[in-house]
Amino acid sequence: MAEKITVNNGILNVPDHPIIPLIEGDGVGVDITPVMTTVVDAAVAKASGGKKKIEWKPILAGEKAIAKTNELLPQESIDAIQEYVVSIKGPLTTPVGGGFRSLNVTLRQVLDLYACVRPVKWYPGIPNPMKQPEKLNVKIFRENTEDVYAGIEWDAGSAEANKLIEFVASMGKKIRPNSAVGIKPISEFGSKRIVRAAIHNAMKYGLSKVTLVHKGNIMKFTEGGFRKWGYEAAKEFSNTVTEEEVAKGASAEGKIIVNDRIADSMFQQLLLRPDEYQVLATMNLNGDYLSDAAAAQTGGLGIAPGANINYQTGVALFEATHGTAPKYAGQDKVNPGSLLLSAVMMLRYMDWKTAADLVENAFQKTIDQKIVTYDLSRQMEGAQEVRCSEFGDAIIRNMD
């Protein structure tokens, strides 16, 4: 019988037949999502000898939700993501125009999914712009609920913006009249919990470096605060040492080295010395830019996986990181890699490691055979271009 995943003190209890809410997604969601569930079902059955099976529970969001309920994000769907702990989603359309916030941003904030986790590594054979793409292998922990993404902003000329401009003037700071204004909140609480999550992850996977990324040289209190609180959070762990302490002679033996980099320099570092970095902890906006830039370096923009997690409640929403690519919707054409590799992250999060490895290894084997969808085939010599569903079928065959 299918059961709920439960959480006890942040530890997941995953039954053999867990119920997992599934948002198919808009646009190409109809293409990639069934491929993902088919591949995952095959891997789980194979890994467990048929003992385990996921019960997918379709839930509504985006265009399909509007059509059925007249709401973009029904409360019922939010409740299901909370209640069933682990969920996965395809891409969702963000309607353009006033009044709409991105559904993705809304989901992250409403459910307090504070850690946006984006592992970025190169899969051999994937076309990419770098000479040595294998040197980049990082996990980006991006804070998801604060920063200029918090949605506290007002249009130029609005009563609120003008009031804020006046208030700021009363504190001796000048904002040009008729400016749009936004607020950038960065808290000690938010900074410390994302840095703790990054350090815990480094510990879990035996990694030895965590880098705090910030622009604290310019934004001294917000981004500078993130750096300061990040180091304070690192001090809570007995097995961390700072780069500065190591430079002064402290031993780094068996410890996680914590350092920090100015955000603009971090972009250079990832290009010039990528193998010196393992886990990055960032605020919201820096992390947004950095994770896409890093994914591009490995040729992985179309296949980059992602997750939004609250490590205290255990609630986690795994997602395709690309958009709805509406011009390809329903054509069985696009690459399901991003959602598939997000499902691999999900299986690891559930501690279903064998199934996760089966999918990831078969994915690599399929790329090795140069069986790829249109996006990769147009950049690969001698590739066999297949449809989205055929790519999934090839992955299942390669699990043998």
Active-site residue, from 149, 277, 311, 349: 149
Q: Which of 63, 67, 59 is nearest to 88 (CA)?
A: 59
Q: How far is the CB of 62 from ligand NAP (least distance, A)?
A: 8
Q: How far is the CB of 374 from ligand NAP (least distance, A)?
A: 7
Active-site residue, from 16, 155, 264, 351: 264
Q: Which is nearer to ligand NAP, 315 or 339 (CB)?
A: 339
> Which tokens sit at 355?
């199934």
Active-site residue, from 52, 89, 184, 215: 215
> Which tokens sit at 341?
């590799």
Asked if residue 93 lies in contact with residue 124, where contact means CB atoms within 8 angstroms, the answer is no
Q: Which is nearer to ligand NAP, 91 or 230 (CB)?
A: 91
Catalytic-residue membership of 264:
yes
Q: How far is the CB of 92 from ligand NAP (least distance, A)?
A: 4
> Which tokens sit at 55?
């019960």
Q: What is the secondary structure of 87-138 as a DSSP string?
A: EEE-------STTPPPHHHHHHHHTT--EEEEEEEPPTT---S-S-GGG-EE
Q: How far is the CB of 144 from ligand NAP (least distance, A)?
A: 13
* Distance, CA of 249 to CA of 235 (rounded, Å): 18
Asked if residue 24 lies in contact with residue 64, where contact means CB atoms within 8 angstroms, the answer is yes
Catalytic-residue membership of 292:
no
* Distance, CA of 66 to CA of 89 (rounded, Å): 17
Q: Phi and psi (nearest 5°) for 270?
A: -65, -25
Q: Which residues bind ligand NAP (CB under 6 A)?
A: 28, 91-94, 104, 302, 319, 321-325, 334-335, 338, 375
Residue nearest to ligand NAP (CB): 323
Q: Which is nearer to ligand NAP, 17 or 378 (CB)?
A: 378
Catalytic-residue membership of 275:
no
Q: Which is nearer to ligand NAP, 35 or 279 (CB)?
A: 35
* Distance, CA of 223 to CA of 109 (rounded, Å): 20
* DSSP reduced 3-state for 27: coil
Q: Which of 14, 2, 145, 19 is nearest to 80 (CA)?
A: 19
8-state DSSP, 64? H
Q: Which is nearer to ligand NAP, 105 or 219 (CB)?
A: 105
Active-site residue, from 26, 288, 332, 375: 288
Catalytic residues: 149, 215, 264, 288
